[in-house]
Amino acid sequence: MSAGLHFINVRLPHREDHRLYELKAEGGKWVSIRRQDCFLDAGDSSASRLIVPYQAGSDLKRLADADCIDLRGGIMLPGLVDCHMHLDKAFSLVQVPNRSGTLQEAIHNYSQAVQSFSKEQLAERMLTAARMALSYGTTTVRSHLDFPVHLGREVAFRTIEAALEVREKLKGSMAIQYALMVPFRGNHEAADEAVEEALRMGIDVLGGAPHLADDPEREIGRVFRMAERFGVPVDLHADESDDPGRRTVLSIAEHTICCGYQGRVTADHLCSLSAMTEKDAQHVMAKMKEAGLNAVTLPAVNLYLQGREDRGLVRRGTTRIRELLAEGIPLAAASDNIQDPFHPFGRGDLIQIAQITSYAAHMGSERDLAQLLRMITDIPAGIIGCEGYEIEEGHACNFVVTDAADVTQLLSGTKMSRWVYACGGWQSALHAAQTYA
Ligand SMILES: [Zn+2]
């Protein structure tokens, strides 16, 4: 546990006031957050060990030893929250190609290959992906996990065991939740037993992709029944399709209301919402709002996978980002897949995801940029239930600092350095090879 933290000349974009702040923490908690009247000159500081940001050699030890850190106007964000990853699939592209680039081939090829992955290989890839995300400022993750019981219990539980080992290994660095992809193929009874066992082992949330099942309605009912029985939240892939007729989210909303699960259910992707008429989309969003659903957009993956049948004007494939926000539905942006058959790129960098969201949804005004930041911080934190999340006195220190002076610089990538603090200590100090004015 760090003895104390002292920062000067910090910008806190969540306060939307463009002012400079001085922050102090003791015993891992913020004890003072004070607005400065002017830019403090680091030379006047009484601190004997002072660090200015991003100078050569600002490694973790120097950060931990510093009496005072002068951010020189750089911004501090609460630790980023990636509420939809697939850590178990990350970096599998080398073994699992996807020649057509479609969602269907990705699902097919991955399920063919998953049997050949050892637990050690899975754990190693997951660890790499999680640590990479941490280095870019993500301190909390919700990862979905494949659970192909129809390929045999041993295959299915290999992923779960690897995931739990990774969480244990990283518990001093970051927080990880797991959502199980409830299988809809094969024998339901055997699958349900396996799901129950996975929950007992420490899986937090029930998920899945019921829109891909032969009978989505039945599968959604099944997931909710189990979720209610075990008292866990629900987080479902929903309508990841260009077909405007795909509306499983309506059924998800109905079940949410029936179970009294408002606020505890998340619908991810919602691509078909963009393909619908305005009237139909309004109807769907009103139902989502009524049910208190949360939503997650995964713009990198949807831009890559969707619209494959279109010619000429190709649809973007992302959901109605602006409209969902306008409706007041909590909408987060997240990474989804990283260098696997579903998405050949990505690095678990939510700042990059915010930038891609901006392109996908035409969001660039000052107000939009503030909204984009919220979509990778407090909105996903609320969705997955992080307590005491904001940078406020009394809250635990969990933050990322950057050399960017504002969100435009941050999203443009002209300032790329990130220092990450979570779980009572400095976790990562990433330096850009070169930053520009
Ligand atoms: Zn996903």
CA 213 to ligand 1 centroid distance, Å = 15
CA 271 to ligand 1 centroid distance, Å = 12
Q: Pick the closest to residue 397 from 71, 88, 139 (CA basis).
A: 139
pLDDT of the residue at 3: 67
CA 157 to ligand 1 centroid distance, Å = 19
Q: Which of helix, strand or coil describes residue 5?
A: strand
Positions of E strands within 27-98 = 29-35, 50-51, 68-70, 76-78, 80-85
CA 268 to ligand 1 centroid distance, Å = 7
pLDDT of the residue at 186: 84
Note the pLDDT tens digit of each residue in 45-102: 555 566 765 565 567 888 888 889 999 899 999 999 999 999 999 999 999 999 999 9
pLDDT of the residue at 1: 47
CA 400 to ligand 1 centroid distance, Å = 25
Q: Which residues of the chain have pLDDT under 50?
A: 1, 437
CA 129 to ligand 1 centroid distance, Å = 15
CA 411 to ligand 1 centroid distance, Å = 23
Is 124 within 8 Å of 407 (Cβ atoms)?
no
Q: Whole-angstrom Cα distance, residue 172 to residue 394?
A: 20
CA 243 to ligand 1 centroid distance, Å = 18
Residue 245 phi/psi, 5° resolution? -80, -10
Looking at the chain, the number of H-run helices and the number of E-run strands are: 15, 17
Instruction: Write the CA distances from 400 to 135, 208, 336, 416, integer angstroms.
Output: 9, 31, 21, 12
The amino acid sitting at 14 is H
- What is the separation of C-alpha 93 from the centre of its chain, rounded to a whole number of angstroms? 21
CA 236 to ligand 1 centroid distance, Å = 9
**Ion ligand 1 nearby residues (CB, 5 A):** 336
CA 197 to ligand 1 centroid distance, Å = 22
pLDDT of the residue at 415: 80
Q: What is the number of other CB atoms lying within 10 angstroms of the CB of residue 171?
A: 11
**What domains sit in the chain, N to C, each tagged with a CATH number?**
4-74+396-430 (2.30.40.10), 80-384 (3.20.20.140)
CA 336 to ligand 1 centroid distance, Å = 5
On average, the pLDDT of the chain sits at 94
CA 368 to ligand 1 centroid distance, Å = 25
